[in-house]
A and B are shown apart, each in its own frame.
Chain A
């Protein structure tokens, strides 16, 4: 039983990281209807930014840790806007497939660009937050796990507030419902899309730092697997739905942690795709998504 609870805590912190990434996918899909493959690499850039900034702040303090997190979020938000401006905006009217391929191109560019700049060898990520282990009866909880869960909850709360309580959020929801109608009532499409990219990328940047805290080895390709899994999580919950993305991420984090802790641990990476296939077959719109019929 205690092992079960222990795994549940691990699952929660993994799920929280996936949720941060999955939200970015689902938001971009909501407004532009394509998979932003480069999102996973924004996550990686977040972790790298974190490791650079960490050299300049006092390590092992709460303030330093938050500063690292904040810096990574700002850099990633800017990067997200830049990617959208340079690569995706010129293709706004192009077929989805072209945008998808461009996204893969951007993703490769970021990966190999960082590999060239920083080298291919994995480097260790400094402990920027104070590290202690708490004993709760038979359970061990590391402070990093608490940080991950707390930061993720705070960011998700903030996002929820932005989207449902501000004018900008209302504009974003309008665009995701119907971009043309949104433009007709005076919403600036480009602004909304840029903000969406900034928000999603900032969350990915935070996710990158948090991931690197728990798995302290970063390399240019670290984003690929978490990115794919987070996207699976977004589909699992119903793409375009924010609560769905969080739910999907938690389910995926749990499934993966428990498979990883069982005798079949080497199949850990396959479980996400297995889940994806099952969901796609029985509920193509995801758990909380709406099913729409294509009209001619």
Chain B
């Protein structure tokens, strides 16, 4: 189920970083928003539902609304953040999204109602295989359909050439904000699932390294290549399990992989559509 959460995060990040060609380093921040908000929901309402006629059904209905709350709040955060910052380009955007991710983290760390530096714990274990892979399916379906729709071609146009896109009447900022908001929504859902899987969350779990890991997955899979990105998410989530004996080398391995990838195969390791590579 860890894999499922990673897939949702990576596919949604791919919408921003891959399809729309922006560079966001703050995805973990949106995940944090979703995780906190949905946990707050279940922690607040779950005890009251335990006495109802169908406790299991009630719990899962609550979980649905909790996830939705987390996702929508994350989307709102994505919208508010995206609106001003997406007027910036490239490395500035990377930095400002990173900054926002860190601000979100610091705010959670300083909100006593949300556990402060200790975080939240004691969430009911509601994340099941059905919930996880249901959400994965919805995410992949929505994003694939969106990108392949007439409207969705706009994302690719903005990526390939922003000036050309705006000269044929597409509003690049608008497309970027839509991509950002939608990605944040799914990141929020993933955060909610993550929180009810781990049953304890704290602000340090959503720092810059988490965002970076996600970006590494997108790059490994090939930017804008949904299937490749899913494979990369599965691979990089399972890999550490097999590499337990050499766990301390894991991040070094990541780093070397990344540098090697950029030098030798910039279109992504798992992107086999030759001739269409562009980045």
Contacts and interface: CB of A to CB of B under 8 A. Distances in A.
Given A87-B259, A106-B255, A112-B251, A284 B88 contact: yes
A105 B259 contact: yes
Interface stretch (A7-15, A201-209, A273-281): A273-281
A101 B268 CA distance: 12
User: Which has the most chain B C-beta neighbours within 10 Å: A94, A96, A108, A111?
Assistant: A108
Given A98-B266, A101-B262, A108-B258, A270 B252 contact: no
A95 B252 CA distance: 24
Contacts of A91: 262-263
B91 A96 contact: yes
A98 B84 contact: no
Contacts of B94: 35, 100
A105 B90 contact: no
Given A35-B94, A95-B279, A102 B259 contact: yes
A161 interface: no
A228 B97 CA distance: 12
A90 interface: yes
B103 A273 contact: yes
Contacts of B100: 273, 277
A55 to B, nearest CB: 25
A102 B87 CA distance: 24
A185 interface: no
Contact of B85 (A106, A231, A280, A296): A280
B90 A102 contact: no
B219 A281 contact: no
Interface string A82-100: 0000010011001111111
Q: How large is the interface on B (under 10, 10 to 19, 20 to 34, 35 or more residues)?
A: 35 or more
User: Which has the most chain B C-beta neighbours within 10 Å: A35, A112, A115?
Assistant: A112
B107 A116 contact: no
A272 B135 CA distance: 36
A273 B262 contact: no
User: Which has the most chain A C-beta neighbours within 10 Å: B87, B95, B109?
Assistant: B95
Contacts of A105: 254-259, 262
B252 A113 contact: yes
A120 to B, nearest CB: 9
Interface string B103-118: 1001101100000000
B209 to A, nearest CB: 9
A35 to B, nearest CB: 5
B212 to A, nearest CB: 7
Contacts of A116: 248-249, 252
B6 to A, nearest CB: 19
Nearest to B161: A296
B259 A106 contact: yes
B85 A269 contact: no
B205 to A, nearest CB: 16
A44 interface: no
A232 interface: yes
B263 A101 contact: no
A270 B255 contact: no
A30 to B, nearest CB: 14
Interface string A204-240: 0000000000000000000010001001100100000
A104 interface: yes
B255 to A, nearest CB: 4
A248 B138 CA distance: 46
A97 B90 contact: yes
A109 interface: yes
Contacts of B258: 101-102, 104-105, 108
Interface in A238-296: 266-267, 269-270, 272-274, 276-277, 280-281, 284, 294, 296
A101 B90 CA distance: 11
Interface in B64-114: 84-85, 87-88, 90-92, 94-96, 98-100, 102-103, 106-107, 109-110
Contact of B95 (A231, A281, A284): A231
A34 interface: yes
B211 to A, nearest CB: 11
B252 A112 contact: yes
Contacts of A102: 258-259, 262-263
A235 B95 CA distance: 10
A228 B92 CA distance: 12
B23 interface: yes
Interface string A141-174: 0000000000000000000000000000000000
Nearest to B248: A116
Closest 7 CB pairs of A and B: A273-B99, A105-B258, A109-B255, A108-B255, A105-B259, A112-B251, A270-B106
9 contacts: A34-B91, A95-B279, A96-B91, A106-B259, A112-B252, A235-B95, A266-B109, A276-B95, A281-B84
Given A228-B98, A267-B106, 20 more contacts: A87-B263, A91-B262, A94-B266, A96-B90, A100-B91, A102-B258, A102-B262, A102-B263, A104-B212, A105-B259, A108-B252, A111-B251, A112-B251, A115-B248, A116-B249, A228-B99, A232-B95, A269-B102, A277-B96, A280-B84
